[in-house]
Amino acid sequence: MRRPPLARVSLAAVVAALALGPLAVLVGAAGAAPGPFQTTRHNAGTPNSSQVTRNASGQVVSYGDKWITYNAPSPALTQLGQALYMENCASCHGTKANGVPAAGTVGAYPNLVGLGPATIDFWVVSGRMPAADPAAVQAPRRQPRLTPTQAEAIAAWVNSLSPSYPYIPDPHVKRANVATGMALFALNCAACHTIEGDGDALAYSTFAPSLRHIPAYQVAEAIRTGPGNMPRFTGNLSDQQVNDIVAYVTEYIQHPQNPGGFGLGQLGPVAEGFVALVIGLGVLALIAYWIGERA
Amino acid sequence: MSDVAGATTTKRARRGGGGRYGRLGQVVNELDDRLGVAKGGRTFLDKIFPDHWSFMLGEIALYSFLVLLVTGVFLTFYYVPSSALVTYHGPYLPLDGQRVTEAFASTVNLSFSVRAGLLMRQMHHWACDIFVGALVVHMARVFFTGAFRKPRELNWTIGVTLLTLAIANGFLGYSLPDDLVSGTGIRIAYSIILSIPVVGTYLAFFVFGGNFPGTAIIPRFFILHVLIIPLVILGLVGAHLALLVRQKHTQFPGPGREENNVVGSPMFPVFMAKTTGYLFGVSGVIALLGAFAQINPIWQFGPYDASRISYAVQPDFYMGFLDGALRIFPSWSFMGFGHTIPFEVTIPAVIFPGLLFGLAYAWPALERRVTGDHAIHHLLDRPSWRPKRTAVGVAALALLSALFIASSTDVIANFFHLSLNTVLWAMRVIVILSPFVAYPITYKICKELQGVHGAGKRKTPNLVVRTDEGEYVAEPTPAYPEDVHHELDPTPVPTFIEEPEPESAAPGVRIVER
């Protein structure tokens, strides 16, 4: 049976949820006045690493540090989210969002419970979900069918079933250090997305998508949640480092500095060879044809 | 007194002044008095160059090489060939504060902080791409027209060597900035050397001065790139041109063109004007590309670090066929007796290019043996007259093109939304099939072209005439007068005034006039 890559994500998410569940309980038990949280290598992107804001009933509304703020989806949207979910998602992911599909559909669909709002938001707002072809190896980024508010609403409803992290990140790219961002990008991202961020084909119809037209918060969502085949970067990247990468992607990958003239689509030697042979050599051959004899 | 003066001045000096050529003539006369440039110069200025446009393709290579020399000298003023780590500080923020090698830092600096530095760097790189491309096109022209045949085999050998050296030097130069992409290329080159059975490890350590990447390669590649290989290329280019002048240029057969003559424009003034114009054309096109088309933006790649890698890295186009061969070759290797022979690297990257260039070197001798044609040829073949040779050439080009396309399997898969594995297998099939498809098609086309009446002649219009009966008839108009066979009446070339040799003073002693 062909398992969509999301199945693997959901497996990881279930494991993460199992691990995070007790933590969440502990956080809840700590009461309305939580102490300062310890940052460890393994809890980046969760409230445990950062300053937390709670509402009157003690639920975490937002958390984060000066680099990234993670915001919970607005609870007011939960009702709308349920309706949108039933309309757009339930046929595959089941009415309880647990991956058990409606009778008559086939395939294993991921359990969404406990994935965290950032994951739900990312897949919907990037147009990957609702999937055009549920049997495809990898859902491509498309024109989104739902608006960002609708995506947030669905995330709010799924999150209401079992509150979990990470929340939707809001990176503060103005504070970032793009030099660190570039070094980290080369180390962690370029191996699949290429150093120019064009993305490329990977084995067996999977691919690393282009990073050219992606809003900053979605880049952060992808890093923190690891959609599809992408690794989930939690422990090994701090919020500051994620923010640096996001800043490098949105400021330089998406707006490359081309002081040398036309960037040739940032395609590298393939495009350069084409230009050299067809335009350079071609024009020179035409000049030769012009001044030479043609018998 | 006057006798002494008469003994030490020449005839021309006695005739006085610069004659009708004014001051320039005077200067030339002074030179002739001391160096005797007149006789050789006369021969040189009267040198006849056939005018066909395809004979200028080699000039593209020559003049782009000149641009390479000039821009390359400029780059050496600012480039620092060192692997020592420094902290880059400069106008490009994403690199500001990163630890990079001096080679990388100086290349970024010369791109951003040196006036015209980026223009020179880009012109150098574009000139390199055009140089190698022109060598290939020129070589194809020589091959398909049979210009390599006796007596020009030696010049063909020099040409193949020039191509090899140009590709090698291009790779070395591409590696010098020490950026992420070129570092990956050096890593591949290291592995290719390692894959040579028995001596690979020793050879790799010898070339790199130890394990990869080490600190020796940048200075070593630098001196090879800027001094040793360019000197060899320069020497071979000189020999190539000297042989061209000595053996005279080939020509296409045509009215008045025989095996024993050369029909064309004299060096002075026609060819000199043309070729000087072409020099400006070549350097102009390269300058325009350097100014308006960005090439190798190393600041976007960042410094090389063995722990970092970028996907979708291709070499410059002239290494593409090697990269493609490496990509599509199945992962076969031999392990045993305490040794590993990685056939997946050795065969596509060592044996295959060895065979390819070996075949290129051996081709003139092979063709002589197969055809039994040992005659001297100064008249060129039309490609269609030699269908087998043309078909072999096209088959080789088809194979190389297929391998070149195979070097971008990932780009193709991504662009057409195909599975990378499907593309890989498709390219394996295409690469193997391409020469076998190209050969018979080319052969057939050549055979057909041989039968076409008036092939290579200019077309004349057909006149549609209405007869008195009302019938319409298409009548071909007569051929252009220039296309009708006729003997040329060349303008007489001025002859030298030959003076009789003075008699020898004694038997066995020969007196030669200065």
Residue A33, pLDDT above cutoff 90? no
Residue ranges making up the domain that contains B41? 2-45
Classify residue B514: in a domain, yes or no.
no
- pLDDT at B131 (0 to 100): 97
Residues B41 and B52 in one domain: no
B320 within domain boundaries:
yes
Answer positive or negative: Cα dihedral of B155, B158, B163, B169: negative
Q: Which residues pair with A207 in a beta bridge?
A: A201
Q: What is the ipTM of this complex?
A: 0.82
Q: Which residues in chain B land under pLDDT 70?
A: 1-20, 453-457, 482-514
Pick the residue of B63, B305, B308, B379 with the most A CBs within 10 A to test the interface with A by mutation.
B308
Task: Tell me, yes or no, whether B345 lies in a domain.
Answer: no
Same domain, B31 and B70: no
The answer to whether residue B335 sits within a structural domain is no
| A292 and chain B in contact, CB less than 8 A | yes
Query: What pLDDT is stored for residue A21 in this prediction?
Result: 45
Extract the runs of DSSP E, i.e. beta strands, from B16-167.
48-49, 85-87, 99-101
Which is higher by pLDDT, A156 or A97? A156
The domain boundary residue, chosen from B292, B308, B326 = B326
According to the model, what pLDDT value does residue A31 have?
Answer: 36
| pLDDT confidence of residue A4 | 47
- Residue A9's pLDDT band, with cuts at 50, 70 and 90, is very low
List of chain B residues whose C-beta atoms are within 8 Å of the C-beta of residue A292: 51-56
Same structural domain, B179 and B302? yes
The b-or-e profile of B463-490 (16+ CB within 10 A means b, else e) is eeeeeeeeeeeeeeeeeeeebeeeeeee
**What is the number of other CB atoms lying within 10 angstroms of the CB of residue B445?**
16
Q: Say whether residue B460 is in contact with chain A using an 8 A CB cutoff.
A: no
Position B428 in a domain: no
pLDDT at A3: 44
C-alpha pair distances (Å), A77 with each of A85, A125, A164, B287, B327: 12, 15, 17, 60, 51
Amino acid of residue B255:
P
d(CA A193, CA A211): 8
Please work out, in degrees rounded to the nearest 5, the angle formed at the alpha carbon of residue B507 by the alpha carbons of B505 and B513: 45
pLDDT score of A39: 40
CB atoms within 10 A of CB A268: 27
- DSSP letters along B345-378, please? HHIIIIIHHHHHHHHHHHHHHHHHHHH---S---
Please tell me the distance in Å from B416's CA to the nearest CA on chain A: 10
CB spacing of A178 vs B93 below 8 angstroms: yes
Cross-chain Cβ contact B133/A199 below 8 Å: no
pLDDT higher than 90, residue A56: no
Which A residues in the span 177-216 are in contact with B, Cβ-Cβ below 8 Å?
178-179, 181-183, 186-187, 190-196, 198-205, 207-208
Strand partners, B257: B254
Q: How many domains does chain B have?
A: 2
Pair B14, B153 in one domain: no
Question: Bridge partners of B474?
Answer: B464
* One domain, residues B22 and B91: no
Residue A37: closest CA among A49, A45, A25, A28:
A49
Q: How many angstroms separate the CA atoms of A142 and B149, rounded?
A: 60
Assess B356–A contact: CB distance below 8 Å, yes or no: no
Q: Which two tokens stand for residue B82?
A: 């060192």
Q: Which of B310, B326, B342 is the last residue of a domain?
A: B326
Q: What is the pLDDT of residue A14?
A: 47
* Residue at B366 is within a domain: no
Indicate if B29 and B135 belong to the same structural domain: no
What local confidence, expressed as pLDDT, does residue B440 receive? 96
Strands (E) across B368-478 are located at 462-466, 472-476
CA distance A142 to A135: 16
How many angstroms separate the CA atoms of B341 and B336, rounded? 9
B290 close to B123: Cβ distance less than 8 angstroms: yes
Per residue in A137-157, pLDDT (tens digit) is 888 888 999 999 999 999 999
**pLDDT single digits (tens) A185-243:** 999 999 999 998 988 888 888 899 999 989 999 999 999 998 988 998 887 888 899 99
* DSSP tally for chain A: helices H, then strands E: 11, 6
Ordered alpha helix ranges (H), chain A = 5-29, 78-88, 90-93, 117-125, 148-161, 178-188, 190-193, 216-225, 239-248, 269-274, 282-291
**For residue A262, what is the DSSP state?**
B
**Same-domain status, B34 and B163:** no
Q: Same structural domain for residues B56 and B199?
A: yes
- The answer to whether A132 touches A141, Cβ cutoff 8 Å, is no
User: A114 or B68: which carries more pLDDT confidence?
Assistant: B68
Last residue within a domain, chosen from B311, B326, B341: B326
Residue of B251, B289, B482 best to disrupt the A interface, most CBs of A under 10 A: B289
Note whether B102 and B236 are same-domain residues. Answer: yes
Burial grade of A244 (CB within 10 A; 0-12, 13-18, 19 or more) = buried
**B30 shares its domain with B82:** no
Q: Tell me whether B252 touches chain A (CB under 8 Å).
A: yes
As a whole number, the mean pLDDT across chain A is 81
Task: Establish if A273 touches chain B: CB-CB under 8 angstroms.
Answer: yes
Nearest-CA distance B186 → chain A (Å): 16
Domain residue ranges of chain A, discontinuous segments joined by +: 5-174+214-221
- The per-residue pLDDT for A37 is 38
Average pLDDT over residues A167-192: 92
Domain co-membership, B20 together with B104: no
Q: What are the tokens at B276? A: 């000087």
For chains A and B, CB pairs below 8 A equal: 208
- B235 domain residue, yes or no: yes
CA–CA distance, A197 with B69 (Å, rounded to integer): 34
Q: What is the pTM of this model?
A: 0.83
- pLDDT recorded at residue A1: 40
Could you give the CA distance from residue A33 to residue B266 in angstroms, rounded to a whole number?
Answer: 97
pLDDT of residue B302: 92
Does residue B100 sit within a domain? Answer: yes
User: Is B274's CB within 8 Å of A291's CB?
Assistant: yes
Looking at beta carbons, which residues of chain A come within 8 Å of B50?
293
Phi, psi torsion values for A119, nearest 5 degrees: -65, -50
Residue linked to tokens 């320069």: B234
* Beta-carbon separation of B420 and A295 below 8 A: no
CATH number at residue B68: 1.20.810.10
The verdict on B24 and B72 lying in the same domain is no
